[in-house]
């Protein structure tokens, strides 16, 4: 099978699995324990965190290990909003965030916060002018996704950061789950106060994520227990998961030069452009590893099944919404024509793909379009 669903999840790298197993066998003790094995595990945990912080250019800050991107996003939204409520109750995000952001914002509204959702254009881009108008003295948190998981739009994070710092005292968070390891992600150069990362999107392990925080940015805890992770995430810390995530982050930055992905994406765009019944949804200057297209008057599931029958795995949208029969919130937000709304598929590359696989995709696409033109 050719696997083109890497934005949903990636295959774990063998070296990541090896590091996870080795850490489990040797450093299995609880890092909170006072005995020698506990201290050894704690030392390894500290080194792993230091490596992660260095890789994201946040050496003076903090990293909170979580069960994945969803928990990290929840901690960022709910925890930061609650921590800075004395400054105000206004939060800004976008219409095309991951559900772990949007649903957390809905929860904020239920408990008295005011949330503004920035609109996007047909390319999925927010308006800097709208952000400027929405910023207020009582804005305490802005959360804008770096790379959209469904169509690959890259938001102007640095430009947003400069405006936010100039016009408010808001904490600026970004969901970088789809960008880390594919694009350069530096807290310093992007001007971010908080970043979410997930290991299984970069050939790491599922149930491993992290929220990176600038120095002096401290959310309130959203779960309670023994006070691990400086009180921000209670529960016994998995040292092997931390080791494996640090390894995955190191490995992913090696593949950060995405010239191959860009070339492959352009080849697919050229192939799709031959057909009037295909809409290319991903912006031209979007993320190099994501291409979203839609077929006119065809259900995306039909395309997914056809490609699977021919040995190619793709998805209808994001894994979080692929089983939903209705058009997703991102597709609605970009204003896609009705005849194309249900025909969306996403192709996403990873470091196990090859150019030959791109050629095979184009071959299968051609046969699928011929079938459609004959009325299936």
Q: How many CB atoms lie within 10 A of CB 116?
A: 19
pLDDT, the chain, mean = 95
Q: Exposure string (b/e) for 97-112, b if CB count within 10 Å is 16 or more?
A: bbebbbebbeebeeee
Q: Say yes or no to pLDDT of 41 above 70.
A: yes
pLDDT tens across 308-359, in order? 999 999 999 755 555 555 679 999 999 999 999 999 999 999 999 999 999 9
Catalytically active residues are: 320
Q: How many whole angstroms separate alpha carbon 166 and alpha carbon 323?
A: 42
Q: How many whole angstroms separate alpha carbon 267 and alpha carbon 270?
A: 5
Kindly state the tokens that stand for 194: 């908080």
Residue in the structure block whose two tokens are 């046969």: 367
Contact 64, 233 (CB under 8 A): yes
pLDDT tens across 126-150, in order? 999 999 999 999 999 999 999 999 9
Q: Which helix (H) or strand (E) holds 330?
A: helix 329-333
Element counts in the chain: helices (H) and strands (E): 13, 12
Contact 89, 140 (CB under 8 A): yes
Q: How many whole angstroms separate alpha carbon 336 and alpha carbon 280?
A: 11
End-to-end Cα separation, the chain, in angstroms: 24
Q: Say yes or no to pLDDT of 370 above 90.
A: yes
Ordered by where they begin, the domains of the chain are 2-8+257-373 (3.90.1150.10), 14-254 (3.40.640.10)
What pLDDT shows up at residue 255?
Answer: 62
pLDDT tens across 79-119, in order? 999 999 999 999 999 999 999 999 999 999 999 999 999 99
């Amino acid at each position: 099978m050719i696997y083109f669903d890497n934005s949903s999840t990636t295959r774990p790298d063998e070296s990541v699995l090896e590091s996870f197993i080795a850490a489990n066998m040797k450093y299995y003790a609880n890092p909170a324990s006072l005995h020698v094995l506990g201290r050894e595990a704690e030392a390894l945990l500290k080194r792993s965190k230091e490596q992660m912080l260095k890789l994201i250019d946040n050496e003076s800050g903090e990293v909170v290990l979580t069960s994945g991107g969803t928990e990290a996003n929840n901690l960022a939204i709910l925890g930061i909003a609650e921590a800075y409520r004395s400054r105000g109750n206004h939060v800004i995000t976008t219409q095309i965030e991951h559900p772990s952001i949007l649903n957390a914002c809905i929860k904020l509204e239920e408990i008295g916060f005011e949330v503004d959702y920035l609109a996007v254009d047909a390319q999925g881009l927010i308006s800097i002018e709208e952000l400027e108008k929405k910023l207020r003295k009582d804005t305490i948190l802005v959360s804008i996704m770096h790379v959209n998981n469904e169509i690959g739009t890259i938001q102007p994070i640095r430009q947003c950061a400069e405006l936010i710092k100039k016009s408010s005292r808001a904490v600026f968070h970004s969901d970088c789950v789809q960008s880390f390891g594919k694009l350069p992600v530096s807290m310093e150069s992007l001007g971010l106060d908080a970043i979410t990362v997930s290991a299984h999107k970069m050939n790491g392990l599922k149930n491993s994520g992290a929220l990176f925080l600038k120095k002096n940015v401290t959310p309130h805890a959203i779960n309670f227990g023994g006070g691990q992770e400086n009180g921000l995430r209670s529960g016994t810390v998995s040292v092997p998961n931390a080791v494996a995530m640090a390894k995955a982050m190191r490995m992913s930055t090696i593949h950060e030069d995405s010239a191959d992905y860009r070339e492959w994406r352009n080849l697919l765009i050229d192939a799709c452009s031959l057909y009037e019944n295909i809409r290319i949804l991903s912006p031209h200057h979007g993320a190099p590893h994501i291409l979203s297209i839609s077929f006119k008057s065809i259900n995306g599931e039909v395309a997914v099944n056809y490609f699977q029958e021919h040995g190619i795995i793709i998805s209808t949208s994001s894994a979080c919404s692929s089983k939903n029969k209705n058009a997703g919130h991102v597709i609605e937000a970009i204003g896609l024509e009705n005849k194309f709304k249900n025909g969306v598929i996403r192709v996403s590359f990873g470091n196990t793909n090859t150019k030959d696989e791109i050629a095979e995709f184009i071959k299968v696409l051609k046969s699928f379009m011929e079938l459609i033109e004959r009325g299936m």
